[in-house]
Structure 1
Amino acid sequence: MKKNFIILVLGSTALLSSMGSFAGPHFGGDDDSRGGGWQGRNFDRPDDENRVRERRMREERGVERLKQHRWQAGYVMPQHYRGNGYKVDYKDNNLPKPERNEQWYKINNDYILINSDDNSIIRIMSF
């Protein structure tokens, strides 16, 4: 029984590892020496300017979505805002002194008090 199990495992391993040889054609690079590209078809690729413009538009849409975010006490602050660029000093902004393990952040003209341990929102002040 043990021999049969080992043969079964080794056989299935060999079969699964050989499946990589049945993969589709390689698409890396612009080598047209094999018949003019993928199956002889000429697909238009966006040039660098289009790629840059599309990426910029995606980023702008993402920023607009983040600006529309509604903050509520008890929610967890998104990872994107946890950097030092959003942290503010409470003295400079006339905010109440935070307790231990708390930090003020300024996001979209809102001051948000965050618990540093679990990144939960404690208080929101809009100015």
Structure 2
Amino acid sequence: MKKILSILAISLSALMASSLTAAAPHHNDDRGFDKPRHEQSRKHREYREENSDERFEKRRMREERGVQRLQQLKWQEGYVMPQHYRGNSYKVDSKDSSLPKASRNEQWYKVNNNYILVNTDSNTIIRIAN
């Protein structure tokens, strides 16, 4: 019985060792893995630093255009409320704002100093109050 267990243990350890060597990464391809790691990271960092100001400026301009576009929206009854304004930060409680109580499936929002009553099922504007 001891011989069988020892043979089984040796064969399992040999199997484990062979599977570990087969899973080792190969560093002889053309994708730059043969270069030292510090050289790869330095080049990546330099590329990222060169473009970070340009990317930041593009992102800022895109956000400004989006804000301007959202401020120019014309609020009319029957229109769909933009998703940007459906967040909790725009929600208003009718008790605090002296607004008529919203019925079931309705919610008041405050956007650009306007109070907007929206159907929460279809997100359509029901009423606009100043």
TM-score range for the pair, normalised by the shorter chain length? 0.5 to 0.7
Structure whose CA Rg is larger = 2
SS in 2 for 1:62: helix
What is residue 51 of structure 1 aligned with on the other side? 55
CA–CA separation in structure 2 for the residues paired with 1:93 and 1:69: 23
Coordinate RMSD, CA, aligned: 2.0
Q: Which of the residues 120, 124, 128 maps onto 1:120?
A: 124
SS in 2 for 1:114: strand
User: Which has a greater percent of helix?
Assistant: 2
TM-score when scaled to structure 1?
Answer: 0.61
Unaligned runs of at least 5 residues, structure 1: 1-44
Unaligned runs of at least 5 residues, structure 2: 1-47
Cα offsets for 1:75-98 (capped at 9, x unmatched):
111111111111011111111111
Count of matched residue pairs? 84
What is residue 77 of structure 1 aligned with on the other side? 81
What is residue 65 of structure 2 aligned with on the other side? 61
Cα offsets for 1:25-70 (capped at 9, x unmatched):
xxxxxxxxxxxxxxxxxxxx96201110111111011101100100
Moved runs in structure 1, 4+ residues, more than 6 A?
none
TM-score when scaled to structure 2?
Answer: 0.60
